Amino acid sequence: MELKRVVVTGLGTITPLGNDVRTTWENALAGKSGAGPITHFDASLFKTQFACEVKDFDPSDLFERKESRKYDRYAQLAIYAAKEAMENSGLDLENENRDRIGVIFSAGIGGIRTFEDEVGDYYLNKEKGPRFNPFFIPKMIADIAAGHISMIYGLRGPNYATVSACASSTNAITDAFNLIRLGKANAIVTGGAEATISPSAVGGFNAMHALSTRNDTPQTASRPFSASRDGFVIGEGGTALILEELEHAVARGAYIYAEVVGGGMSADAYHITASHPEGLGAKLVMRNALEDAAMTPEDIDYINVHGTSTPVGDLSEVRAILDVFGDHSYKLNISSTKSMTGHLLGGAGALEAMFCILAIRDQIVPPTINHEDGDMDPEIDYNLNFTFNKAQKREIRAALSNTFGFGGHNASVILKQYNK
């Protein structure tokens, strides 16, 4: 069976750097930080009091006020991103077979804010008996964003969510890629969203010592690959990509951003939260992606790394890159855009794949910000080009995006320039 080629024809996003693709990309290239004091709740008693929040988002732009109450914030962000991506793609749904267009959209956690509100209200008022909102369950579940997007646009193709912690939306993209190249769909709306800047999430990650506690300097708190890194900065947002079978896209005259050529998956099989110190799962997932794409390490020019700014995770990923790419490692550009956006958990992979796509389009690598001269980890090889602090122009034929999740879930996707 001959596999079909798969391309990207639409992008949409809402992030701590901006409420559309253009603004987010411009601010990423400028090296801006999306971090600031938490406004979603009173965090004054928490060890971490800052995050990368989406700014100036009003759900009434999408829904009637009464209708918006049916959606958790993560689903609102997902729908917002999907709307921009659908419009950007130019798909004319009135002339499309909607049975052949699907939605595979992820969340690592889903409606945690809804869960907090409903369960908290129950315990505060339990003497009155169990009183829950009838939308509690459908607002909370991690698959509901995919369901809502399909219902809004009447898309009856493959429809589900992938849940693999921080690898979730890279798994969603890979699944969409595989279904299209197998001929199961003409196009798929894919990506991920997360909205976990909430007391239980921040408190839970604090209890694990996973978050940075640089409360006095939040904008410089996320500092991947620097010796003083002390944990990730939690973020929120949503990103949607329209993946489409090449012949279908060409027939309708679609603009093609890039081609999806390979996806890899692996497990660390090591620890519930920590990555393997030698990066065994990370090595395997990158090799699997290269094999799937029928590419060699020398074909890759840019890696958007998982790079969360945690002491163990950053080091293990560097070790994995050196092992997989060998001498070519020193010809790569590497960057962690989480230094600017924070970590969007289940939404991270889709956003970082979008950054790879735009880097290929514009032939420029977004930076890893917040590195200071002298802040050097003796175990990290700084002969690697981490694209510190300033975007760099270069030829980018192909880019690889890594995402690694709690539970040892690893996913990588490879995008490349589209050539006829």
Is residue 326 within 8 A of residue 365, CB to CB? The reply is no
Q: Read off the tokens for 91.
A: 């798909």
Is residue 391 within 8 A of residue 240, CB to CB? The reply is no
Q: What is the pLDDT of residue 67?
A: 83
Is residue 180 within 8 A of residue 124, CB to CB? The reply is no
pLDDT digits (tens, 9 = 90+) for 272-331: 988 888 889 999 999 999 999 999 999 999 999 999 999 999 999 999 999 999 999 999
Q: Read off the tokens for 235.
A: 């973020």
Q: What is the pLDDT of residue 162?
A: 98
Q: Which residues are catalytic?
A: 166, 306, 343
Is 135 a residue whose pLDDT tops 80?
yes
Q: Read off the tokens for 250.
A: 């060409």
Q: Read off the tokens for 57.
A: 């988002």
Mean pLDDT of 343-368: 98
Give the pLDDT band (50/70/90) at residue 129.
confident
pLDDT digits (tens, 9 = 90+) for 55-100: 999 998 888 888 888 999 999 999 999 999 999 999 999 999 999 9
Q: Read off the tokens for 62.
A: 């999408």
Is 250 a residue whose pLDDT tops 80?
yes
Give the pLDDT band (50/70/90) at residue 239.
very high
Mean pLDDT of 395-407: 97
Q: What is the pLDDT of residue 273?
A: 87
DSSP string, 137-168: HHHHSTTHHHHHHHHHHT--S-EE---BTBTH
Residues 6+ apart with CB under 8 A from 394: 301, 302, 333, 363, 364, 365
Q: What is the pLDDT of residue 277?
A: 86
- CATH of segment(s) 6-416: 3.40.47.10
Is 1 a residue whose pLDDT tops 80?
no
Sign of CA dihedral 26, 27, 29, 30: positive
Whole-prediction pTM? 0.97
Chain mean pLDDT for the chain: 97
pLDDT digits (tens, 9 = 90+) for 314-336: 999 999 999 999 999 999 999 99
pLDDT digits (tens, 9 = 90+) for 160-190: 999 999 999 999 999 999 999 999 999 999 9
84 membership: H or E segment, kind and range? helix 73-89
